[in-house]
Structure 1
């Protein structure tokens, strides 16, 4: 008996690298260092700036923040959410490069 987890849908040959989604195996086996090396310096700078923004803004609320008012904490939470959304939305078009699909 084959489990549903073992079933894989074959990608139609007509699916372009920019339109496909990663498989379970690709996501769980993702090599960030190799993906980074495949990006151009401009793409690395773009992703790096998004990551730094998310890390700095999002990371601040992981520590004691008695010095913030409730309103200030909520504003930072909003900025964190916005930074994460921007990071995910703006890096999704790079999946074909990050996963190496353009060269396959």
Structure 2
């Protein structure tokens, strides 16, 4: 994209004017390159934003559900463990009771002198 400058037909460009024109054309080329690079960067940023959005959705929808399910499963297992421990405590209490009764029976036998 060359710069268009209106000139008189009789006007001859000085060296300074030529140098300025060359610099302006060089700056114009540099500016186009910067614009191209900026557009490529914007495209990459858009792609990254899309990937981040997809990851957020995956985390929000899939992983969070799996974490919730795992937590619910843990709660269920904890509840079952608590129930099992209650039964174990009851069994242990009954075992103590049985031992106490056995000891009472032995005391009664000794008093009655029963072998």
Shared fold, TM over 0.5: no
Higher relative contact order (CA 8 A, sep 6+): 1
Structure with the higher fraction of residues in helix conformation: 2
* TM superposition score normalised by structure 1: 0.30
